[in-house]
Each structure stands twice: as structure tokens, then as C-alpha cells.
Amino acid sequence: MTYQAPDLTILPRHPVIAGGKAGEGGGETVPHIYPATGQVTREVRLASVADVDTAVAAARKAFPAWRALPGDQRRNLMFKLAALIEQNSQQLALLSTIENGSVVAATAYLGWDGAQKFRYFGGWADKIEGRTVSTWTGPAHDYVSYEPYGVVGAIIPWNGPMFAATMVAAPVLAAGNCIVVKAPDIAPWSIMRLGELFIEAGFPEGVFNIVTGGADIGAAMVAHPDIDKIQFVGSGPTAKKVLRSAAETLKPCGLELGGKSAVIVFADADLQDAAKRGLSGAISANGQGCVNGTRLLVERPIYDQYLQMLGAMAGHIPVGDPLDKGTVLGPVISQAALTRIQGVVDTAVRQGGRLIAGGERLGGERAEGFFLPVTIVADVGNDAEIAQHEVFGPVLTVTPFDSEDEVVALANGTEYGLGGYIHTQNLRRAHSVASRLDAGMIHVNGAGEGMTPCAPFGGVKQSGYGRLGGEDGLKEFLRVKNVWVNLANPAAAR
């Protein structure tokens, strides 16, 4: 197989954008590895802690004017940015593929998606209204206003930088806040380009800032006294570190964390469709998506038939060059990730799991890349490690069930609560099961289509708290102020 060589001339060169100016970082230089080949694309100069201070100071300086800017003007700037994102969607798709190996057939939609987020939340910018409160303590006028926090720090993960950055930045800015975004050190390109588009769109200096780096830069942001709120998208263990640090300044945090989402397939489901959509948990983001449905819970009467369909489909999924439009599944992010994933699968098989598809790293012409085909392990107990913890790779487990009560218990039987997927043609059952699942987002006969800018997204339990998307997502970045005005006649009181 001949790989298409990534066009390295399109890679942005400025890991820091602060106060509307793109510049070099003051931190260490690290190699970026292209997951499809295991080869270095370019050395990346990261931000320093001093760069964090500069970016936060720029955001703090810009905040009063951005907050005071009439909502229609914020809206118009966001609409202009949306148009630029669409115009540059092909480049953004290629950057997203180069940075983490996501297949270009999937990254092609990121420009459209990002534009829609800025249009949706831009439409809210001139519609942030307060409300009046009935009073009974005496003649008074009591009203509530919704105000921006100030400076929001956003820590963005490597598995979907462009998707996550636009999901956070759009409501943050519509609400009147300024933002400092930490681009991930191992997948920096798409966010760096997004920052350039903010400059091209004419946003005021300091409204949108970027620092590219690793854990030290994220830690500096969380601890920074001039950042008013943190939005963290990433893993649970790191989130706990974020909360411990944020506690020192009583800084509020929004957390969008991991998941181990169940896909429930009832016997009356359209099996062809349910199998196809079930495979998406191993394919979407090369299996490295937090909300992917990775635990397939299948009603016993159709269990064997479903496994046969699933295995047959898995064997026909094109795996390879992520820059080839015909590729469906690309590499995982690194050699370390691949080794870890294979270890989890091997352990599951040793403990009684039955390998239906995949399981072995691809060799031959793909040997230098970090490729694992769709891997399916059947007959997995719900207490197995592979069923309880994120694998974060193209791996699915399959477990049978006998009743609605049993499958609800199985689906809820993890520490996570991000997503859930139900396949059935019985609408009563769909609503009943959806109401009983401990998860923040449920799809019925779907596989992720409901993640739109107008719908709230987020989790419960160890999947975090707070919401991104929709009106609920906007209010995450607004704080509430109550004003009580005494209307009594002062003279009458004397």
C-alpha cells in the first residue's frame, strides 16, 4: 500500500496566539508523530508558563470591551468566523487527519460542524435575557441578570481537538467571556489554524488566545488566579487533578470526561441497522471517542445471529491510509496506546472472552503505523476490565441479556454515565429504558447523530458534569446575579 504523504506545508507554525498576535512558544521543542507511519512530521515548539501569563493577561484586558460589545456585533463576528471556517474546511480536515490519524472521510465534516456551532451560539449572543422575580416582602422590584464569568480556560484533548475547541469556544464567546485554549501538544495543528482564523475574522485582540502544550501548561491555567472558570475535556484521572488544583482558588469547573457507553440491542430491532451502527463505536475517531458505544448488550434470542452479522461486517471495514477517502478506520494515536489496547484485549480473551474479529496489529505495509483492525470480544462478563474501563481503541465487547431489567442493570453497571444507545422498534420500551439509564445522552436507533450544537451534551457519575451544547451549554458560561430594588416610600417608613 502506498501512503499519501501529508502536505506539511499547510502546518501552522505558531503555537501561541495571545492578544491577537501569533508567535513562537517559550517552552520545549517536541517531535510530532504521524500515527499512520510512526514518522515525525515536524518539531513543535510548545508554550511556556510565561506564555500562559501573557495569554491570560491579554484575555483579561480584552474582557471589559468584549463584554460590553452589543450582542449583535458579537453575533456578526461569530458569523464571519463561521464563514471562514467553512471556506477553510478542506485544510482543517487535512490538519485534523495529520495531527491524530483520524480518517479524512470523517474529518471532512469538521469545518461544517464548527461553522454550525458558531452560527448557533452566535444567534444566542443578542438574546441573553434576564427575568423578574415576584416579591412578597414588600414593594420592590427584583430581577435576575445573566453575566459572563470573565476569562475561561479551556483544556482540549488530542482525540478531537477541532470538534472540542469549537464546542467550548462558541458558547464561551457568545456569553461575553474571553478564552484561553490549551491545544494538545501531540495534536496541535487544527486549533493553531483556528486561532489564525479568529485573527482573520477581525476579533478584538485578546478575545481568543491559544497556548500549545502538555500537562504543565494545563496545570498553570487551572492554578492561574486570573482565569475565572475551567472547562476541561479529557480523562477522569486528570480531571481529579484539575479539581484539586481549582479548589485552591474555588474556581468552578466544567468536566466532559470519559465513557463506557452501552449499546442495547433488543430482539425486535432492525438487526442490519443495529449491527452497522454498533460497529460505529469501534470506528468513530478510530475508536478513540469518549461517547462511543463500546459495550454491546444483545438480547439472547438474537445473540448468535447478531455476532455473525457483526463479525462479517467487521471483516470488510477498510483499514489504512487516513488520507485516502476510501479508508474507514485509521491508526490509534501512538505505539504506547496500541500496546496498551492489545494488552487489554489479550487479558479479556485469557479470562474467557471469545475473539470474533481482529485482535492483532496489522503488519506488512502497515507495520510502521499504529493500526489495529476492528476487534470484537464476545461473551464478556460485565465485571471484566474490558467492560468496565475505557479501552480507547477500535474494540467492542458483546454480552447477552435476557430481560429489560437485566439490561438496564448491566448498562448502568459501570462508573461512567456519558452515552447510551437503544435499538428497538417498540417506542414504549425505548422511552422506558431511556428514562432508566444513568447517562447524559441517549440515542434511540442512532449512533451519534444527536450531537448537534442545539442539544445539550455531557455526562453523569465519572463522566463529569456540566453541559456543552444548546441553551444549557450557553448557561454554563453565564453566572447569575440577583438585584432587589426597594420601591417603598422612604417618607412613609419614618
Distance CA 190, CA 467 (A): 23
Q: What residue segments make up the domains of the chain, in order of their start? A: 8-257+459-480, 261-444
Q: Residue holding cell 491510509? A: 321
Phi, psi of 421 (to 5 degrees): -135, 130
Provide the β-strand partners of residue 212.
183
Which of helix, strand or coil describes residue 325? coil
* Closest to 280 (Cα-Cα) out of 466, 105, 37, 467: 105
Predicted local distance difference test score (pLDDT) of residue 492 = 53
* Residue whose cell numbers read 425486535: 268
C-alpha cell belonging to residue 482: 440577583
DSSP letter (8 states) at residue 468:
B
CA angle 283, 285, 288 (to 5 degrees): 95
The reply to whether 8-257+459-480 and 261-444 are identical in fold is no
CA 369 to CA 333: how far, in whole Å?
A: 9
Among residues 174, 205, 203, 206, the alpha carbon closest in space to that of 72 is found at 174
**Calpha distance 345→262 (Å, rounded):** 18
pLDDT of residue 138: 83
| Average pLDDT of the residues of the chain | 96
What does each of the 494 residues of the chain score in pLDDT, given as a tens digit? 567 888 899 999 999 999 999 999 999 999 999 999 999 999 999 999 999 999 999 999 999 999 999 999 999 999 999 999 999 999 999 999 999 999 999 999 999 999 999 999 999 999 999 999 998 888 999 999 999 999 999 999 999 999 999 999 999 999 999 999 999 999 999 999 999 999 999 999 999 999 999 999 999 999 999 999 999 999 999 999 999 999 999 999 999 999 999 999 999 999 999 999 999 999 999 999 999 999 999 999 999 999 999 999 999 999 999 999 999 999 999 999 999 999 999 999 999 999 999 999 999 989 999 999 999 999 999 999 999 999 999 999 999 999 999 999 999 999 999 999 999 999 999 999 999 999 999 999 999 888 899 999 999 999 999 999 999 999 999 999 999 999 987 765 45
Q: What does the pLDDT read at residue 491?
A: 66
Cell numbers placing 390: 475505557
Report, as residue numbers or ranges, the catalytic residues: 182, 256, 290, 390
Cβ neighbors of 389 (< 8 A, separation 6 or more) are 260, 344
**How many Cβ atoms are within 10 Å of 255's Cβ, its own excluded?**
22
The CATH topology of domain 8-257+459-480 is Aldehyde Dehydrogenase; Chain A, domain 1 (3.40.605)
Cα distance between residue 65 and residue 177, in whole Å: 10
CATH of domain 261-444: 3.40.309.10
Grid cell listed for 162: 477541532
Q: In this structure, are residues 61 and 26 in contact, taking their beta carbons and an 8 Å threshold?
A: no
HSE-CB of 371 using CA atoms within 13 angstroms: 22
For residue 298, report the phi and psi dihedrals to the nearest 5 degrees. -120, 130
- State the pLDDT at residue 5: 85
H/E element, 172: helix 161-174
Give every CB contact of residue 250 below 8 A, 6+ residues apart in sequence: none
